[in-house]
Structure 1
Amino acid sequence: MAKKKIVHILHSIGGVDVYLRLVLENMNTDSFENIVIHGTKDTEKPFFDKSGNKVKEYKVSIFRDISILNDIKSIFQTYKILKKEKPNLIHSHSAKGGILGRITGRLLGIKVIYTPHAFSYLSTQNSLKKSLFLNIEKFLANGNSLLLATSASEKKRAIEAVGYKPKNAIVFNNCIEPITKIQPLTIIKTWPEDYICTVGRPSYQKNIEQMIRVLHEVKKEAKIHLIIMGVGPVSGQLESVKNLIQELDMTNDVTLLNWTERTDVFNIINQSKFYISTSRYEGMPYSIIESLALSKACVVTNCDGNKDLIIDNYNGFVVENEDVKGFKTKILKLLIDKELLDKLSKNAFNSYSENYNIKKNIYELESIYLE
């Protein structure tokens, strides 16, 4: 049987990059041939398949920000590549990849699977931008594309808010490989032994300011340090976060870490007491899946993705988005009650093992591709 050729289109950063690499490194190379089209300035790391071979890749003008010139240029570049490669299927990822894949797929008559990794219209407070992004999603919905959500709540949003027909929306949960070994840190440790942590760039999405305010309230009753991993080039609210830390006199209570090796992230999560997330929205966050795989309870906001992963009072706590008092109460509960923390931590690993192991779940995605 001939291999099915799949072209992946994306701006390869953050969780989207992690998703694709995990898929490529676990897919059956006897049945599938994968090709990657990504941005000229996103990742420099090559992609590899399950056999350890480099995956063919093309670089086009895909950038995070809107640019009419670059966006039109990327459509022509992608069209030319697809016409040459003649794939059986396009899997387009996130907003830019989603637009590119669905437009070129329609032009060439190629079926498209689209994974939003959290819809772009959720990323802005600006009502005009929100309306524009949502209307673009609505215009491109259905047609020749199938919505492949990363969580049940993302699928629900696709149907209820974006307008996907239920028959055109399915789920393949984000999942990761088991974390069997913790590597030594590649960075110098500068923080106390007792800490809680999070992964996420200072941005509207991650709402780190809320996290700082929560910790400020916790600090009134218990001493605990916070490590924030993921401060990088796409950190639009970094100055706001730094200013708030200074304003609340919390310089010694918070460590801001730049983007670092994924092995360092695992090490830091593994040594933490538990994990927290104050995100306003998600698709299905890898950092929480990684925390579950490392037997860490999580205290998270009640948003898409988070609420799929965390079952309240089973493997952590789910708190309403702006509820500072609720966050404080749950964090203090885990800091004080070791027996409860141990129980939730054990359940955290069970959640991962039963639901989010890509070694077990990759067959689901392969079946979707074959259909």
Structure 2
Amino acid sequence: MAKCKVLHVVSVSFSLKYFIGNQFIYFNEKGYDFTVSCSPSKDLFEYAEKMNFKTFPVNISRSINPLQDILSIYKLYRFIKKEKFDVVISHSPKGGLIGMFASYFAKTPKRIFFRHGLVFETLTGVKKQLMILVEKLIGFCSHKVVNVSYSIENLAIQLQLNDVSKNIILGKGTCNGINDNIFYPRPRTEFKDKTVVGFVGRMTKDKGITELINSLDYLNDYEDFLLLLIGPFDERDVLDDDIITKIKTHPKIKYLGEVKNTAYYYNQMDVFILPSYREGFPTVNLEAASSSLPIITTMSTGCVDSIIENETGIFTEIDSESIAKAIIFYLDNKEERIKHGLNGVKFVTENFSESIIYNQIEDKLLQ
């Protein structure tokens, strides 16, 4: 029996380890043949060698660029026609637009779009309407649409982004599952004299970083408190200068920027926080929960699906005082902190482990 040929389309290679990751190895061992198409980069070719997949570089700009987008669609269309893929899977708005258009015109038997989030949630005016139109065009060209959370699916249905019959959710959500051989509880080795609340992600307004930083104004009485921030400063949704200055100079903030091993740093935290305005399904919340951390997050799209309230974490409003109150709850209640962390490990293991999600991907998408 010939191998099932699968093409993944993403805009940038950085996304591959989060959107697909160990699927490359898992499905390769089961006889699937994977190719990735995205903007060319050194990282793409290095990751392809490490994870044993083929590449077809094509420029996919993250912003709307009509001429470049048409050229990219045509180039990818010719490649898909030539290689005769059984399945084309595309991710994110621009990867989805290029991948679904190209595979639609190439008449690929299975066309699948992963809706990792809805960027227009924090947009307004013409930009918002344009992005809604893009989502509808992608949905029209797809055979199946994987919404990475129930709240994303509910919003997609409300806005009629695609035919409801195309919608799929893998398990209880997410796109790739959690590797509990990497994210698990370990003894702390740093910051032992501090109670550490941590954040992992882009330093951007959308993530609620402004409100998080300003919440420190309400935490002056907690001398052993430390806010540990991990992730790059965002170039598109730029923080105000005063917030950037606070991140770099505040005595209760430790900013590490990008790190290679986030699993290690989850183990240096007591609590994890993601005060985001919007998500698809926040993988960081699951990684942190798998590391036995209680989660503070919001009831925004995606985030609302990532905890069990008062069992694995608590919700906060997106304002500085509310965030501070949530942090104080865990600072003052160590027993609840530990209990919610232990519950989080069970929550992730039973619902979001890679083995569960990969079985769902094979059953619902590839067969």
Q: Find out whether 1:331 has 2:327 as its counterpart.
A: yes
Show the counterpart of 1:286: 283
Alignment of structure 1 residues 198-277 onto 2, 5 Å: 198-220=199-221, 223-232=224-233, 234-240=234-240, 242-244=241-243, 246=245, 251-261=250-260, 263=261, 265-277=262-274
CA contact (8 A) 1:16 1:117 kept: no
Q: How far apart, CA to CA, are the structure 2 residues paired with 1:204 and 1:13?
A: 24
CA contact (8 A) 1:16 1:93 kept: no
> How far apart are 1:360 and its partner, in Å?
3.0
**Equivalences, count:** 360
User: How big is the alpha-carbon RMSD for the aligned residues of Structure 1 and Structure 2?
Assistant: 2.8
Partner of residue 134 from structure 1, selected from 132, 135, 139: 132
CA contact (8 A) 1:245 1:251 kept: no
Q: Identify unmatched segments of 5+ residues in structure 1.
A: none
Q: How far apart, CA to CA, are the structure 1 residues paired with 2:41 and 2:61?
A: 8
Show the counterpart of 2:113: 114
Show the counterpart of 1:360: 356
- CA distance change for structure 1 residues 342 and 99 in 2, over 3 Å: closer, same or farther? same
Show the counterpart of 1:179: 181
Q: How far apart, CA to CA, are the structure 1 residues paired with 2:216 and 2:56?
A: 44
Show the counterpart of 1:89: 87
> How far apart are 1:96 and its partner, in Å?
0.9
CA contact (8 A) 2:215 2:323 kept: yes
Show the counterpart of 2:65: 67
The one-letter code of the counterpart of 1:138 is K
Q: How far apart, CA to CA, are the structure 2 residues paired with 1:21 and 1:100?
A: 21
Q: How far apart, CA to CA, are the structure 2 residues paired with 1:210 and 1:249?
A: 16
2:111 aligns to what SS in structure 1?
strand
Show the counterpart of 2:97: 99
- CA distance change for structure 1 residues 125 and 183 in 2, over 3 Å: closer, same or farther? same
- CA distance change for structure 1 residues 45 and 273 in 2, over 3 Å: closer, same or farther? farther
- CA distance change for structure 1 residues 311 and 250 in 2, over 3 Å: closer, same or farther? farther
- CA distance change for structure 1 residues 181 and 317 in 2, over 3 Å: closer, same or farther? closer
Deviates most, 13-22 or 94-103: 13-22
With normalisation by structure 2, the TM-score equals 0.89
- CA distance change for structure 1 residues 295 and 40 in 2, over 3 Å: closer, same or farther? same
Q: Deviations over 1:13-54 (max 9, x none)?
A: 5555412223223225334211110112483453459xx762
- CA distance change for structure 1 residues 339 and 144 in 2, over 3 Å: closer, same or farther? closer
Show the counterpart of 1:307: 304
With normalisation by structure 1, the TM-score equals 0.88
Q: How far apart, CA to CA, are the structure 1 residues paired with 2:338 and 2:225?
A: 18
2:37 aligns to what SS in structure 1?
strand
Q: How far apart, CA to CA, are the structure 1 residues paired with 2:90 and 2:42?
A: 16
CA contact (8 A) 1:194 1:224 kept: yes
Q: Deviations over 1:243-269 (max 9, x none)?
A: 1264799621222322220x2x11111
Show the counterpart of 2:341: 345
Q: Find out whether 1:125 has 2:123 as its counterpart.
A: yes
> How far apart are 1:85 and its partner, in Å?
1.1
Q: How far apart, CA to CA, are the structure 2 residues paired with 1:214 and 1:90?
A: 44
- CA distance change for structure 1 residues 252 and 330 in 2, over 3 Å: closer, same or farther? same
